[in-house]
Structure 1
Amino acid sequence: MSATHVVLPRPLPGSRRMPEQSPQPGTRWVWAAAVLLFAAYGAVSLRLHQRMLTTGYDLGIFEQAVRSYAHGHLPVAELKGPGFPLLGDHFSPVLATLAPLYRIWPTPVTLLLAQAALLAVAVVPIAAFAQRVVGRRGALVVAFGYGGSWGIAQAVGFDFHEVAFAVPLLAFGLVALAEGRWRAAALWALPLLTVKEDLGLTVGAIGCVMAWRGERRTGAALAVAGLVGSALEVLVVIPSFNPGGHFTYWDKMSASGTGTGGPQGLADTLYHWTLGVITPDTKATMLVMLLAPTAFAALRSSLMWVCVPTLAWRLLSDNPDYWGTGFHYSAVLMPMVFVAFVDALRSWEERPRRHALVVAGAVGALLLPQFPLGQLLQADTWRTSPRVAQAHRILERIPDGATVAASNRLAPQLTDRAQVTVFGFPGSRPSPQWIVVDTATPMGWPISPDQERQLIDQARSDGYVTVVDRDGYLLLRHG
C-alpha cells in the first residue's frame, strides 16, 4: 500500500507561516490592560486640565469644533479666527462622532477621556497578536511597550488631537494585514481618510504593503483610494472651506521653497531629500527613539513601510516641532512600530526572539519616567495649587455666551460656555467683552510678556476696566 501524503497549502507570496504552537490561553487580559491604560491616560490628561496646563491651542480648538457638531453645525473654531471653518484647516470629519457624547457632557473632559479610550483600546489587537506569536509573557512585554511608549505618552500629555482616532484604526488594520486578512485590513484602513488629510498617504502605503504580501488587487485599489483621497482633500475640499482658498500647510514643507535655480538650487534640493532627512541631530534622535523600544527588530518587517509617509512629511518640513519627540506627532507611529515588531518576531528562533523582548522591555522601562506617564508617580501631579482655585473663581465671573480673549492656558477652561480667542493672537475677534490674562506665568505665546503688557495698557486706554487683579490674574471688562 502506498503512503498517503498530506499536501499543505502554500503560503502567500511575501507572507510568513506561523510556527506551530500549543493552544494559547485566553486573551481577556488584553481588555484588562486596555482598562488600566485608559485609567492611566485619563488620569494624566485630567490632572493636566485641572491644574490649568492644557491650552486653547489645541484642546480649545477641538472643543469648539466638537461643540459646533453637537449643535448641528459644521465645525467652527473661534480660536483660529472669527467664524473660522475648521474643515478649511484640516480635514477631520471624524470629530463629529464625538458630538453625541459632547451633547450629553459638554466639557473638554469629554474629549480628553475619549482620547484616552481611543489610545488605550489599540493595545487589544496588538497584545492579542503578540500572544498568538510569542505567547503570554512576550505579549505582556509588547503590551507594556505600546502602552507606555513615548509617542502615546506625549499625545496624552498634550491636550486632545484628532489623530487619536487613527491609532486604533491602525492597530486593528495592521494586525489584520500581518495575518493576511486582507478585507479586514482594508476596511480598517479606509476610515483613516476621515481623520486627517495626510493619512490618505498612509492608506496608500498600507495598500502597497498588501500588494507586496500577495493581495495585489485589493492592495492596488486601497493604494489608489488613499492617494486620490488625500489629493482631493488637500487640493479641493480644504481649499473650498479655507477663507484664503488654499491649503495652509504647503509652506510647512521646505521642499516647496528649496532651491534658488541652477547648480546651487539642485544641490539644495539633493541635500534636502538625502542628508536633510536626518539632520539636524533632533531628527536622527527621533528615529533612534522610534526603533529602540523594539530593539530595532521592527525594521525586519515590511510593515515598517507604513511609517514612511508620516516620517517623510515631518522630516522634510521646515518646522522644528515636527522633527523631535514632542507633542502628538508620533502617536500614529506607535501602533505601526509595535505591530511590525511582532510581525518580525514570527520568523525568529526562540532564543533571539527572547533576547529582543528582554531588550525591548528594558528600553521601555527606562524611557517611561522621562515622558508624561511618569507624572503619575510625581507628587506634584496630585496637588492643586490655591492659585488655580483662585483662577476658577475669577473665570466664574465671566457670563455664559460672552466673547472673551484669554491667555492660552485659560482658554480651554472657557470654551464650553463662551466664545473664546487667545489674547494677542493675530486676527482674533476685535473688542471682546472680556479679557482674562495670567500675568504671573505668561507662556510667551502668541506674544511676548512685554507685548502682553503693551496690549493690556492699550485695552485700558480703549475703555476696558479692571474687574479683578489678584494672584497674577487680570480680568478686564469692556466699559
Structure 2
Amino acid sequence: MSLREYTLGAKSLFSTTGSNVRRLLQKLGDRPIYIIIILITSYTAYFSYYTILKHYTFHSTAYDLGVYMQSFWTTIHGYGFFYTSLWEGSLFAPHFQPIVILILPLYAAFPKAETLLILQSLVLALGALPVYWIAKDKLGAKAGVVFAGLYLFYPALHGINSFDFHPVALTIPILLFCFYMFEKKHYKRGIVLAVLAMMCKENVALVVIFIGFYWLWTERIRFTSCLDCKGLLRERDVVYPLCLSLLGLIWFLVAIYIVIPYFNPHGGFVYFGRYGIALNDLLFNIAGKASYILILLAPLAFTSLLHPAILIGLPIFVQNLLPSYSGMYEIINQHPSLLIPWIFIASVYGVKWLSTIRNRSIKTVSTRLLWMLLLFVIVATWIMSPSPIAPNRNMPQLTSHTTILEQAISVIPEDASVYAQNDVFPHICHRAHAYFTLSVLPIRIDFFQYYIFPASVEGRLYRWSHGGNYDYILADATSNHSMFKLCTDKRLERLEREYGIFVQGDGVYLYKWGYEGEPLMLGGK
C-alpha cells in the first residue's frame, strides 16, 4: 500500500469514527436514560469489584458481613432460623429485618460473600433512577442526569457501599421509589414499597411515619377541610398518607415490643440503652457531630436545607446524633442510609425553589446551580470518599500474606469449631461453630468465656454456652484487628497452655487444641 493510499484510508477511518462518536453522543443526549444506565452499570461494576477485593484481602469483618453470611448458611443447612453463633441466637434478636427471608433463595443458589456484595452495589446504584425521575420532573432531563450523577458520586453512599453488607442500605433506592410513587399519586405501589423498606430494619418505620406526615403537610388544606370522617374517606390524597403513617407506627411497635423480644433470649430491645435522654450524650463530641452534618450536606452545597422534605429524616438525625457512640455519626458505615433519600429529594426541591425566586427562569438559574453542585460533589468525593475514588485511598492488594491466611484456613476441618478475629471471621463463617467476640479498647473481654451482645460499646457480657472450648483459634498478628492486641496476659497464658501452634507463617498463627507437635510453616518462614 502506498503512503497516499494509507493516508487516505486513515482519514476515512478517523472521519467515520468521529461521525459515529458524534451520532452516539447525540443519541445519548436525546435519550438521557441511556446515560443513567451507563452510570448505574459503571457504579455497580466498580463497587462490586472493590468490595469483593476488600473481602479477598481480609478487609471485611464479622460485623456485619460475617454475621449475615453465617445466618444465611445456618438457615439453609437446618441449624435454626437465621442462627448466628456470635450471640448464640437468631439474627432477629437485635434487629427486625425480614428482608433477609427474600434474600435467602439467592444466597442458597450462590452461597458466597460475592452474592451479597454485588447485590448491595447493584441495589444502591439503582437509586440513581428515582433520583433522575424526581429531578427530571422538577428541573428537566439534563438536571435529572446531573442529580443521578451526584447521587452515584456522593461520599456517604460510597461509605455505606464500602463497609460489608447491611440490609438497611437497600432502603435507599426503595424509599426514593416510594417517595416518587406518592408524588405521582400511585399510592398503592408506594405503600408496597414502604412495606418492603420497613422489612430492611425496624427503625425504617420511623421514616415511613414521617413520609406520611410530609404528604399530609403538602395536602394540609384538604386535610383541615375534611376532618369529618365522611369527608376524610373521600380524599384519597389524605387517606393514603394517613394510612402510611399509621402502618409505620404499628410496624414499629410490633417490631420493638413483640418480634425482637421474642427472638432475643435476654429480652427487650437491646438498643434502647444507646438512646438515653441525658444531655451529656447529646453534647458529647459536638465537633464530630457537626462535622458529620457538614459532610452529609456540603456535597450538595447545602441546598437540602432549602426544603422541608429533609425533615422526613428527622428521627434518623436524632438517632444518629443523640448517642455518644461515635460510630453513629460517621459516613464510613451503614448509619447514614436512611438520611440520603431525603437529602437528595430536598436538594432537588431546593434547587427548584432557587430557580423560581424573583421570577427567573428555571433553566437559567438551575444551570448555574447544577454546575456549582457538580463542583461541590467532585471536591467532596476527592476529599471525603472512603473508596479508592479519592486519591488518598488505595485499592486493596492481594499479597503473599493473604495467600498464607487462605492456606491456614484450608487446613481447618469443616466440622471443627473455630475462633477467629474480626477480619478473618467472614472467611470461616460457613459453619455453625464459628466464633468471634467484639472488644473495644481499653476493655479486653475474655473471649474464652464471654461474648458481647449487642455488638457495640454499650453491649452486655454473656457467657458462652460451650465454655470457651474451641478446636482451633486463628489469629493474624499483622492485622489492625489482631486478637493479640486485645488479649490479657491471663488469656495468652491459657492459649499457650491448652493450644499448640498447628500452622504458622508471616504473622499468621493457627492454634489447635491439645496439639504438641511442630507447626507447619507457611511462606518459607
Secondary structure at the aligned position of 1:88 is classed as: coil
Give the aligned residue type for 1:143.
A
Q: Does 1:75 align with 2:85?
A: no
The aligned counterpart of 2:246 is 224
Residues 1:163 and 1:134: Cα distance change in structure 2 (over 3 Å): same
CA distance in 2, matches of 1:380, 1:344: 35
State the Cα deviation string for residues 68-104 of structure 1 (Å, max 9, x = none).
343464111112x23x112111001101222112112
CA distance in 1, matches of 2:74, 2:374: 43
Q: Distance in 2 between matches of 1:376 and 1:390?
A: 30
Q: Say which of 69, 80, 83 aligns to 1:63.
A: 69
Provide the residue aligned with 1:37 in structure 2: 43
Q: CA RMSD in A?
A: 2.4
- Determine whether 1:459 maps to 2:487: no
Look up the match of 2:469.
431
C-alpha change, 1:400 and 1:438, in structure 2 (3 Å) is same
Separation in structure 2 between the aligned mates of residue 106 and residue 376 of structure 1, nearest angstrom: 32
Assess if the C-alpha contact under 8 Å between 1:24 and 1:131 holds in 2.
Answer: no
Distance (Å, rounded) in 2 between the aligned partners of 1:456 and 1:96: 40
Q: How does 1:299-338 map to 2 (within 5 A)?
A: 299-338=305-344
Deviation, 1:135, is 3.1
The SS at the match of 1:183 is helix
CA gap of 1:395–1:176, structure 2 versus 1, over 3 A, is: same
* Structure 2 unaligned spans of 5+: 1-28, 220-236, 357-361, 438-445, 452-463, 515-525
* AA of the residue aligned to 1:193: M
Tell me how far 1:388 sits from its aligned partner. 0.8
Q: Distance in 2 between matches of 1:456 and 1:418?
A: 25
2:500 partner letter? V
Q: Do 1:295 and 1:356's aligned partners in 2 also have CA atoms closer than 8 Å?
A: no
Counterpart amino acid of residue 136 in structure 2: Q
What secondary structure is seen at the aligned counterpart in 2 of 1:299? helix
In structure 2, distance between residues paired with 1:181 and 1:373? 37
On the 8 A contact 1:407/1:437 being kept in 2, the answer is yes
The alpha-carbon deviation at position 66 of structure 1 amounts to: 2.1
Q: 1:318 to 1:279 in 2, by over 3 A?
A: closer
CA deviation profile, 1:216-265 (whole Å, cap 9, x unmatched): 2111111111012111111111011101111111111121xx3xxxxxxx
Q: TM-score of the superposition, structure 2-length normalised?
A: 0.78
**Higher relative contact order by CA 8 Å / sep ≥ 6: 1 or 2?**
1
Find the aligned partners of 2:431 and 2:205 in 1 and give their Cα distance. Answer: 35
Give 1:324 shift.
Answer: 3.0
Other structure's SS at 2:92 match:
helix
Aligned mates of 2:200, 2:351 — CA distance in 1: 30
Q: TM-score scaled to structure 1, two decimals?
A: 0.85
Contact in 2 for aligned 1:294/1:357 (Cα 8 Å): no
Match of 1:11 in 2: none
Aligned residue in 1 for 2:508: 473
Cα drift, residue 375 of structure 1: 4.8
Distance 1:154 1:311, change over 3 A: same
Deviation at 1:293, TM superposition (A): 2.1
The answer on whether the counterparts of 1:202 and 1:306 sit within 8 Å (CA) in structure 2 is: yes
Q: Report deviation, 1:26.
A: 5.2
Measure, in 1, the Cα distance between the counterparts of 2:75 and 2:306. 43
Alpha-carbon distance change, 314 to 376 in structure 1, aligned in 2, over 3 angstroms = closer
CA deviation map 1:351-403 (0-9, x unaligned): 33223222221121112133233358689526312111111111101111321
Partners in 2 of 1:362 and 1:281 — Cα distance?
Answer: 25
Q: Tell me how far 1:182 sits from its aligned partner.
A: 3.2
Are 1:27 and 2:33 matched, yes or no?
A: yes
Please, which moves more after superposition, 141-150 or 317-326?
Answer: 317-326
Which whole-Å deviations, capped at 9, do the CAs of 1:314-345 have from their partners, x for residues lacking one?
A: 11123221123331211232222112222333
Percent of aligned pairs with the same residue?
Answer: 22
Shift of 1:39: 0.8
Q: What is the aligned partner in structure 1 of residue 231 from structure 2?
A: none
* Unpaired stretches in structure 1, ≥5 consecutive residues: 1-22, 259-267
Contact residue 74 and residue 432 of structure 2 kept, 8 A: no
Q: After the TM superposition, which of the residue ranges 410-419 and 202-211 deviates more from structure 2?
A: 410-419
SS in 2 for 1:359: helix
Aligned pairs for 1:276-355 within 5 A:
276=282, 280-347=286-353, 348-349=355-356, 350=362, 351-355=364-368
SS in structure 2 at match of 1:92:
coil
How many angstroms apart in 1 are the aligned matches of 2:388 and 2:416?
Answer: 38
CA deviations on 1:115-151 (whole Å, 9 max, x unpaired) are: 1111111111112332333334322321121111122
Q: 1-side partners of 2:478 and 2:511: how far apart?
A: 16
- Worse overlay, 447-456 or 358-367: 447-456
* 8 Å contact kept, 1:201–1:309: yes
SS in 1 for 2:323: coil
Amino acid in the other structure paired with 1:421: Y
Q: Against the structure 1 CA distance between its residues 199 and 94, is the aligned structure 2 distance closer, same or farther, given a 3 Å change threshold?
A: same
> For 2:169 and 2:346, how far apart are their aligned partners in 1?
19
Please give the alpha-carbon distance, in whole angstroms, between the structure 1 residues aligned to 2:381 and 2:143: 19
**Which runs of structure 2 are paired with 1:38-187 in the superposition (5 Å)?**
38-71=44-77, 73-79=80-86, 81-82=87-88, 84-187=89-192
Mean CA deviation greater in 190-199 or 203-212: 190-199
Pair 217,24 (structure 1): closer, same or farther in 2 beyond 3 Å: farther
2:372 to 359, 364, 375: 359
Greater CA deviation, 126-135 or 302-311?
A: 126-135
- Whole-Å separation in 1 of the counterparts to 2:114 and 2:54: 11
Deviates more, 1:434-443 or 1:221-230: 434-443
Q: Distance in 1 between matches of 2:415 and 2:51?
A: 26
> Where does residue 19 of structure 1 map in the other structure?
none
Deviations 1:256-299 (A, max 9, x none): xx3xxxxxxxxx4xx77xxx379611111111222222222222
The residue matched to 2:511 in structure 1 has which SS? strand
**Would you say how many aligned residue pairs link Structure 1 and Structure 2?**
436
> Are residues 162 and 186 of structure 1, via their aligned partners in 2, closer, same or farther at CA, if it must alter by over 3 Å?
same
Stretch moving more, 452-461 or 37-46: 452-461
Q: Compared with structure 1, are the counterparts of its residues 66 and 383 closer, same or farther at alpha carbon in structure 2 (3 Å cutoff)?
A: same
Q: Partners of 1:166 and 1:187 in 2: how far apart?
A: 13
